[in-house]
Structure 1
Amino acid sequence: MSVATRIRMTTTDTNETVAVPGLPVDDPMGDGYDWMETLEGTGWSALPNWGSDGWDAGAWPLIVFAAARTHDETGELFGYGTYVEGDTHAHWFRSQEQCFEAITEEVCFHWKTGQSDGPANLPATAAELPTADRKPYPGWTS
């Protein structure tokens, strides 16, 4: 089990500098499955599904989403990270709603480009998706 390393990042929505669990970087010798194993004990969890029907949030092992939740003296913090063919990126938010909207934007991009399976008849923008499709699949727990 890994030890969660805290790093300093700036939140996307409030522009605050906060200490949060660091998203593990890619192991260049492995793939997304190997990267998901590095999440254990870090505060991050793989996020396999998104939206009301649990559509693909990525395309394992090439595209993997991860989510994290933590808190500081000001309140809760919500993060999501991505692994895309070896490149990793993390984003943190003070607002869970803002985090969900950002995940929806990125997941919808992968649906629209055919990189992962999503709902049929996608609207022009992620913001036009029904509310139930702009948040985690109800069957997912973190």
Structure 2
Amino acid sequence: MSTGKLTRTVTADTAEAVTAPVLPADDRAGDGYDWMDTLEGTAWSVLPNWGSEGWDAGSWPHIILAVARTRDVNGELFGYGTCFEGDTASHWFRSQNACFEAITGEVFFHWASGQSDGPENLPAAAAELPEQDRRPYPGWTS
């Protein structure tokens, strides 16, 4: 898999400067489905589901999450990115658990606001979700 362009950034959990794959920008020529096509051949892949039951991790084509995993001289890096109505952002972590918690916070926001389908009877905060709902959907194989 090609990592494409690289960028200097800072990890959210350890605040260390790292070089990581760039999340492709939205070219604004199409919709979110077109943006998902730009991920092909990069380090990034679309994250469709989250949690034990595979609830929506976004609301396609308006809210799309993507994930990436790479390595530098100090070890593994875990990233997640968003494309929200054409605006893209990426976040990198040294710890996979820290990345999972950040993704959980992101999807929880969209579940709680009714922007995407999530579990019934949501708690008041993402940290109160059961452990199995703060991890990738077990059926996800990307």
Q: Tell me whether 1:78 sits opposite 2:71 in the alignment.
A: no
> Match of 1:124?
124
Q: Cα–Cα, structure 1 residues 52 and 123, in superposed 2: closer, same or farther, change >3 Å? A: same
What are structure 1's unaligned runs of at least 5 residues?
A: none
The 2-side partners of 1:3 and 1:72 are apart by 12
Give the Å deviation of 1:73. Answer: 0.7
1:51–1:135 contact (8 Å) kept in structure 2 = yes
- Give distance in 2, aligned partners of 1:71 and 1:31: 31
User: How far apart, CA to CA, are the structure 2 residues paired with 1:141 and 1:13?
Assistant: 25
Matches within 5 A, 1:37-76: 37-76=37-76
Percent of aligned positions with the same letter in both sequences?
A: 70
- Residue 134 of structure 2 corresponds to 134
- Per the normalisation by structure 1, the TM-score is 0.97
Conserved 8 A contact 1:2-1:38? no
Structure 1 partner of 2:31: 31
1:84-129 CA-to-partner distances (Å, cap 9, x unmatched) read 0000000000000000000000100000000000000000000000
Report what 1:96 is aligned to. 96
- Give the superposition deviation at 1:42: 1.0
The residue number in structure 2 matching 1:17 is 17
How much does 1:136 deviate? 0.4
Task: Indicate if the aligned counterparts of 2:82 and 2:89 stay in contact, CA closer than 8 A.
Answer: yes
Unaligned runs of 5+ in 2: none
How large is the Cα RMSD of the aligned pairs?
1.2
**Secondary structure in 2 aligned to 1:19?**
strand
Distance 1:82 1:96 in 2: 17
Q: List, as ranges, runs of 4+ consecutive aligned residues in structure 1 with deviation greater than 6 Å.
A: none
Q: How far, CA to CA, are the matches of 1:6 and 1:86 in structure 2? A: 20
Q: Distance in 1 between matches of 2:79 and 2:31?
A: 22
Q: How far does residue 2 in structure 1 lie from its aligned partner after superposition?
A: 7.3
In 2, the alpha carbon distance for the partners of 1:140 and 1:12 equals: 25
Query: What is the aligned residue count?
Result: 142
